[in-house]
Amino acid sequence: MTDVAGHETHTEGKAAHPIELFFDLVYVFGFTRVVGLIVHDHNLTSALQGALILGLLWWSWGVWTWTMNAVDLTSRLRRVAILLAMIGIFLMGYAVPNAFDGDGIWLGIGYFISRFFAALVGWFGSPDDEVEQASVRNFIPISFIAPVVVIVGGLVGGDALEWIWLVALLIEVGTALLAGQNEWHVDAEHFAERHGLIMIIALGEAIIAVGIALTAAAGEGAEISVALAWRLGVGLAAVGVFWWAYFDKLQVIWETRLHEADAMETGKIGRDLYSLSHYPMITGVVFFAVALEEAFLHPADPLTGFTRWMLATSISLYLIAQAVAIYRAYRQIMRERIIGVVLIWIVSFTLDLKADLMIVLVTLILVITITAEYFRYREEVLSNPHLRR
């Protein structure tokens, strides 16, 4: 990617604070509950419902990431506020299984609690940065519209709930588009690190899904066999390729682009490369966890129709969102990833392989895709020490 060659990355930003790492743990629970919701109902409706809830979880995490990027987290009062916000997010996760059957109001209350404390910390968090404070105080009043709509959806319930929460997510996107017009001070290294960490948490959910499925398939207390060891390796390899597709080069490329942005561009770049583009990536990883769990529950049987859809959709969301983010950053087209997506749709719906062999084939397609992409940019990568790290 010619535009990246020779660019300096930000190397003196703050590192993630332990409270941020602890904060992320409630999202482990939330992601697990979403996977459980989709696997339990095993249909397109549950997948769409899961994507809606993931959107709310993602937006609560994203607002806090912007907030914690801007404030000093050594303040004990701010850390207390973060812990209180975690109660709301934990409540959201607990409400997931029955969110569309009566517990939607509790998910809405949890969402509002999280956003309330984020607004509180943001409002008082950086008094010495007048520019940041002006942007924050322009954003906060409109940022409460969507949380209120989420609560209204929970109160209304029924068939209207999905539509009301979809409107809430669209409002969140709209407020982000407006907020991006303001001037923001963003620590690029910290911002990239935080998004990488939440991606690892989502990938961890996929690994757990493989382990849970194979345990259920073999039966509790079953002895480890060659077949079981093989399938554990296949599942880990599949998740490992997902990790590689993000962390090998893309993380540093996006960090570089954010660091290059001027004050008026920072909000737009951070919003587009991270807040907006990473939502489909996270959804793709969680859907991939669902597909892996479904596949390894019956590893010797062909994939069901639902599992085929989840497998192809998950990879599409993940790779295409990455391609869109790279195009937004440097106007480069990642054609190998697009070709890989097309091939995976073809094999998913034309071949009737055993589930574990289908995962092997999909993993090989991803490996070939990423390898071909690397060799297309090999000279540029080797000439740039930041891309070699």
Q: State the pLDDT at residue 137.
A: 79
> What is the reported pLDDT for 290?
97
The model's pTM: 0.91
In the block, residue with structure tokens 């399938």: 231
Reading the chain (389 residues) residue by residue, the pLDDT tens digits are 444 333 333 335 688 899 999 999 999 999 999 999 999 988 999 999 999 999 999 999 999 999 999 888 989 999 999 999 999 999 999 999 999 999 999 999 999 999 999 999 988 877 666 777 777 878 888 989 999 999 999 999 899 999 999 999 999 999 999 887 778 788 999 999 999 999 999 999 999 999 999 998 887 777 889 999 999 999 999 999 999 999 988 999 999 999 888 877 888 999 999 999 999 999 999 999 999 999 999 999 999 999 999 999 999 999 999 999 999 998 888 899 999 999 999 999 999 999 999 999 999 999 999 999 988 877 665 556 555 55
CB contact at 8 A, 169 and 145? no
Q: Which of 253, 238, 250, 279 is nearest to 366 (CA)?
A: 238
What pLDDT was estimated at residue 115? 95
- What residue ranges do the domains of the chain occupy? 18-383
Angle at 200 between CA 187 and CA 275, to 5 degrees: 45
Look up tokens 């993000």; give the residue. 246
Distance CA 15, CA 24 (A): 15
In the 8-state DSSP scheme, what is residue 102? T
pLDDT of the residue at 388: 53
Task: Work out the number of other CB atoms within 10 angstroms of the CB of residue 243.
Answer: 15
Contact 301, 355 (CB under 8 A): yes
Find the length of the chain: 389
Report d(CA 317, CA 174) in Å as an integer: 21
Which amino acid would we find at residue 204? G
Residue 354 in 3-state DSSP?
Answer: strand
For residue 321, the Cα-to-chain-centroid distance in whole angstroms is 11
What pLDDT does residue 1 have?
A: 43
Torsion angle of C-alpha atoms 261, 264, 265, 271, degrees rounded to 10: 120
**378 CB-near residues (< 8 Å, 6+ apart):** none
205 vs 129: CA distance, rounded Å: 38
